[in-house]
Amino acid sequence: MTARLKINGADKQYEPGTMPKTLADLLATMKIDQATVVAEIDGAIVPREQFSATRLADGMVLELVRFVPGG
């Protein structure tokens, strides 16, 4: 059975055993620098220092907002 995350409104499905275990793992697989992102899971903002300790689970809804220099 596949596991699912909803990331910025898009469903992402993972085969068994392939879903990133933590928020930090997810950001690494997406090639997103942790210093440039604000993360919200199921409506709650996750402090950056907790990215490595924040476990992901099937059905979670994530919003990732990246800061882009320039403007």
Of 41 and 66, the structure prediction assigns the larger pLDDT to 41
- Local confidence band at 70 (pLDDT 50, 70, 90 cut-offs): confident
- pLDDT of residue 71 exceeding 70: no
Is pTM beyond 0.85? Reply is yes
| The two three-digit tokens of residue 5, written as one number | 């995350």
**Burial status of residue 19 (CB atoms within 10 A of its CB: 0-12, 13-18, 19 or more):** buried
16-63 residue pLDDT tens? 999 999 999 999 999 999 999 999 999 999 999 999 999 999 999 999
